[in-house]
Amino acid sequence: MRLKIMARLDLDNSDLPASDIDPGPLKLEVVQGGDMAHRLICGDNLLGLRALAKSEVRAHLAYLDPPFFTQRLHQRVERNRNRKTGRIERTETPAFDDRWPSLDHYLLTLAERIRATRDLLTNDGSMIIHVDPATSHYVKVLCDEIFGPEAFANEIIWRYRRWPAKTPNFQKMHDVLLRYRRDPKVKPRFVQLYEPLAASTRATWGDRKQVADIDEQGHRRRSLKTAEPSPGAPLGDVWELSVIAPVAKERTGYPTQKPEKLLRRLIESCSYEGDLILDPFAGSGTTMAVAAKLGRRSIGIDASDEAIDVASARLRAANVELRCERVVSSSAKNDAHSRRSS
Amino acid sequence: MRLKIMARLDLDNSDLPASDIDPGPLKLEVVQGGDMAHRLICGDNLLGLRALAKSEVRAHLAYLDPPFFTQRLHQRVERNRNRKTGRIERTETPAFDDRWPSLDHYLLTLAERIRATRDLLTNDGSMIIHVDPATSHYVKVLCDEIFGPEAFANEIIWRYRRWPAKTPNFQKMHDVLLRYRRDPKVKPRFVQLYEPLAASTRATWGDRKQVADIDEQGHRRRSLKTAEPSPGAPLGDVWELSVIAPVAKERTGYPTQKPEKLLRRLIESCSYEGDLILDPFAGSGTTMAVAAKLGRRSIGIDASDEAIDVASARLRAANVELRCERVVSSSAKNDAHSRRSS
DNA sequence: GCAGTTAATGAATCGCATG
DNA sequence: CCATGCGATTCATTAACTG
């Protein structure tokens, strides 16, 4: 018996939307703004990524937050106080559709976008893809195929707390973020962050660095306390960060919005000031907002009008100078604009 | 372009050790002990599992802690004080070999053992396999194939703290445990455990239970405090437990030994008193030792003499009555005993 | 008895030396 | 030049000891 686990990629166009196969020549049409540090592109992200690939633009970090294969239509929730009754009323509008004919369709769509993202990275850049524990395994096999297994850098666990579900099972309380380097042979962009020392370490060693001590015979003795203060322990790959509270200021109403703290940590450790951050699933614009706060440049892409509205409002409220663009393909049938207004 | 991620299982015996293909009739030969609650079997675990399958024995929980594909030979470390010098001296002996021709060989070996383990589970039983984040994804694809994706219950993250490695990367600080149910249609064995409430919850709600409150119009109002003390939050799937300290009493010197706290949590929540716990990669016998403490029965299998020695000494020291057995196959070439004494 | 201090050391990763 | 291997690094943990 032989076994092989792999992502099999065969040529067969029949399952793909026409726009994925040959959208004709692509162009980015400026809707508003000049040569800004932050660009928000409206359109299918595969087309957007391919249009960007033709320019000189290369990103140092890409963050992908695709749909999680929930098989649900996700709604945006707006909250407004009714003038007459004084009660808060909720309005729901469709934000994005996460329903798929099959897992294979989902993975294939993702694979195309991961590959297109990889082509836009600098050699010392990396990609982080945010997924669910139920699909992360398939996505990792996919990424191993696209980047090569040596390029795998981390499985980051984002652990959060939420209202418990009543189930005879351990409560699902984490997301998975996979990080891949574009070229594992190149010295990576990385800024060492620290987390607080463990309580047991502080009790024994205080907040000073330890150093190993080896005697003349080469035997190891007890480590020594130094006078040098410790910056903490180098940051690990399990992060405990709270989800956005239902009443937090940060909350835009856009579904599946990720907390700014999470993006801050990713961007601070995997990019330098002035670097370009790419987010092909821009959603409510969290990545771009955090990139702006941290002095990075950014490009966000999203096909949903809801997303573009929420993100541009959010960024403008934060005084981020924004250039808005639209993906235009020469073939009228696949024109992002015509689909938008349909 | 089409894509399919799957575990492909083709018939081709050439890569397998002869004993995996047809070991001939299998028998468990009693080396020592009578009809005890705890059985330690020496021999290849695939043969051991197949021999068990012929008996009526079925396990309620199986814990698998296979090698992690480290491509290293792992050593057992014994420590003894030298009478003359008074210094502690270390003796290293090979414990198990985790070197493989390829990832596929590793996965195939694992697949056979997972399948054999599944065949030994009760319908309401489950299997937990302990793996590394670098291979967990492939193992999950494998298990989805063997158990079916609906049988997937949890990805448990064991987060620990250790000394930092010097690397421009997030420190690897977690293991992955995958849990599958034998039959997802059957009510599972599960005991709800709790963890302490989050600090923010205690600050707002104290240590009493909250209840949702909905008014006559169906609008949700602020939740209410109750008088009933909260048992804590239902246990999640990210567990922070320390690794065995270098000087802990628990430490046997056997490599990759897992902490008793981890096994205690798994056994307490996924089995009942009197249940049978199966560990085909018994190693230093942690699973069996914890099972005994928790009033469960156990069967452990290991091919390594080092493991059998360490585990039986450990269990006897804990006053666990033990029956020792040996897998015997009729084909002399594959006889576990002849290999042991070679 | 209890608290505080001292002791011992695992093993991931990089970098440099050695063959 | 490439592969191999050893040394340096340093936080975390519990046991043993001390007052």
CATH code for position B66: 3.40.50.150
3-state secondary structure chain B: CEEEEEEEEECCHHHCCHHHHCCCCEEEEEEECCCCCEEEEECCHHHHHHHHHHCCCCEEEEEECCCCCCCEEEEEEEEEECCCCCCEEEEEEEEEEECCCCHHHHHHHHHHHHHHHHCCEEEEEEEEEEECCCCHHHHHHHHHHHHCHHHEEEEEEEECCCCCCCCCCCECCEEEEEEEECCCCCCCCCCCCEECCCHHHHHHHCCEEEEEEECCCCCEEEEEEEEEECCCEECECEEECCCCCCCCCCCCCCCCCCCHHHHHHHHHHHCCCCCEEEECCCCCCHHHHHHHHCCCEEEEEECCHHHHHHHHHHHHHCCCCEEEEEEEECCHHHCHHHHHHC
Domain interval for residue B31? 25-187+236-341
Q: Which tokens in the block code for residue B101?
A: 């021709």
User: pLDDT grade, residue B212 (50/70/90)?
Assistant: low
Q: What is the mean pLDDT of residues B237-254?
A: 93
Cβ count within 10 A of residue A27: 14
The alpha carbon of residue A259 is apart from the nearest alpha carbon of chain B, in Å, by 17
B254-278 pLDDT tens trace? 999 999 999 999 999 999 999 999 9
Q: Is B70 contained in some domain?
A: yes
Q: How far is the CA of A109 from the C1' of C10 (A)?
A: 44
Interface test with B, best of A5, A143, A178, A223 (most B CBs within 10 A): A5
Q: How far is the CA of A171 from the C1' of C2 (A)?
A: 39
Nearest CA in chain A to B232: A164
The alpha carbon of residue A322 is apart from the nearest alpha carbon of chain B, in Å, by 32
Q: Is B200's CB less than 7 Å from nucleic acid strand C?
A: no
Q: Is A109 contained in some domain?
A: yes
SS3 A99: coil
User: pLDDT grade, residue A172 (50/70/90)?
Assistant: very high
Q: Which helix (H) or strand (E) holds A214?
A: strand A208-214
Q: How far is the CA of A235 from the C1' of D19 (A)?
A: 38
Q: Which tokens in the block code for residue A175?
A: 């997301």
User: pLDDT grade, residue A338 (50/70/90)?
Assistant: very low
Nucleotide closest to B74 measured between CA and C1': C11
pTM of the model: 0.91
pLDDT number for residue A339: 39
Q: Are residues A115 and A178 in the same domain?
A: yes
Q: Is B9 contained in some domain?
A: no
Q: Is A257 contained in some domain?
A: yes
B85 touches chain A (CB under 8 A): no
A108 and B152 within 8 Å at the Cβ level: the answer is: no
Q: How far is the CA of A218 from the C1' of D6 (A)?
A: 13
Q: Is B165's CB less than 7 Å from nucleic acid strand C?
A: yes
Nearest CA in chain A to B161: A198
Q: Are residues B265 and B336 in the same domain?
A: yes
Contacts of the segment B270-276: beta carbons below 8 A, 24+ positions apart: B270/B60, B270/B61, B270/B126, B270/B128, B270/B179, B270/B189, B270/B190, B270/B191, B271/B60, B271/B61, B271/B189, B271/B296, B272/B60, B272/B189, B272/B191, B275/B59, B275/B60, B275/B61, B275/B189, B276/B57, B276/B58, B276/B59, B276/B60, B276/B61
| Nucleotides in chain D near protein beta carbons (<7 Å) | 7-16
B170 and A156 within 8 Å at the Cβ level: the answer is: yes
Domain limit, last residue, from A217, A233, A249: A233
Q: Are residues A223 and A94 in the same domain?
A: no
Q: Are residues A82 and A209 in the same domain?
A: no
pLDDT number for residue A102: 87
B234 and A173 within 8 Å at the Cβ level: the answer is: no
B198-211 pLDDT tens trace? 777 666 766 666 66
Candidate from A3, A235, A238 with C-beta closest to B238: A238
B138 and A141 within 8 Å at the Cβ level: the answer is: yes
User: What is the pLDDT of chain A when averaged over all its residues?
Assistant: 88
Cα gap B181→B123, rounded to integer Å: 8
Count of structural domains, chain B: 2
With a cut of 80, say whether residue A155 has pLDDT above it.
Answer: yes
SS3 A141: helix
In this structure, the protein residues whose CB atom falls closer than 7 angstroms to any atom of nucleic acid strand D are A 197-201, 203-205, 209-212, 214, 218, 223, 230, 233-234; B 160-166, 242-243, 245-250
pLDDT number for residue A316: 96
Q: Are residues B202 and B276 in the same domain?
A: no
Q: Are residues B115 and B217 in the same domain?
A: no
Q: Is A3 contained in some domain?
A: no
Q: Is B79 contained in some domain?
A: yes
Chain A to chain B Cβ contacts (< 8 Å): 188
Q: Are residues B92 and B215 in the same domain?
A: no
- Nearest 10 degrees: Cα torsion B48, B49, B50, B54: 100
SS3 A200: helix
SS3 A140: helix
* Closest alpha carbon to C1' of C10, residue: B246
Q: Is B3 contained in some domain?
A: no
Q: Are residues A133 and A220 in the same domain?
A: no
With a cut of 90, say whether residue B246 has pLDDT above it.
Answer: no
With a cut of 80, say whether residue A47 has pLDDT above it.
Answer: yes
pLDDT number for residue A177: 98
Q: Which tokens in the block code for residue B189?
A: 């064995």
With a cut of 70, say whether residue B225 has pLDDT above it.
Answer: no
Q: How far is the CA of A26 from the C1' of D6 (A)?
A: 55
B137 and A142 within 8 Å at the Cβ level: the answer is: no
With a cut of 70, say whether residue B136 has pLDDT above it.
Answer: yes
Q: Is B213 contained in some domain?
A: yes
B292-326 pLDDT tens trace? 999 999 999 999 999 999 999 999 999 999 999 99
A85 touches chain B (CB under 8 A): no
Candidate from B134, B138, B154 with C-beta closest to A5: B138
Cα gap A260→A290, rounded to integer Å: 6
pLDDT number for residue B330: 74
B158-167 pLDDT tens trace? 999 999 999 9
3-state secondary structure A262-324: HHHHHHHHHCCCCCEEEECCCCCCHHHHHHHHCCCEEEEEECCHHHHHHHHHHHHHCCCCEEE
Interface test with B, best of A11, A169, A211 (most B CBs within 10 A): A169
Q: Are residues B203 and B249 in the same domain?
A: no
Q: Which tokens in the block code for residue B75?
A: 């050593």
- Length, in residues, of chain B: 342
Residues in A 120-149 with any Cβ partner in B closer than 8 A:
133-134, 136-138, 140-142, 144
Cα gap A22→A5, rounded to integer Å: 30
Contact list, A169 vs chain B (CB under 8 Å):
153-154, 188, 190
The alpha carbon of residue B278 is apart from the nearest alpha carbon of chain A, in Å, by 20
Q: Are residues A143 and A265 in the same domain?
A: yes
A234-275 pLDDT tens trace? 999 999 999 988 788 999 989 889 999 999 999 999 999 999
Q: Are residues B215 and B161 in the same domain?
A: no
Q: What is the mean pLDDT of residues A159-165?
A: 91
Strand partners, A79: A90
User: What is the pLDDT of chain B when averaged over all its residues?
Assistant: 86
- Taking phi over 0 as left and psi of -120 to 50 as alpha, with beta for the rest, B241 belongs to beta
Q: Are residues B89 and B137 in the same domain?
A: yes
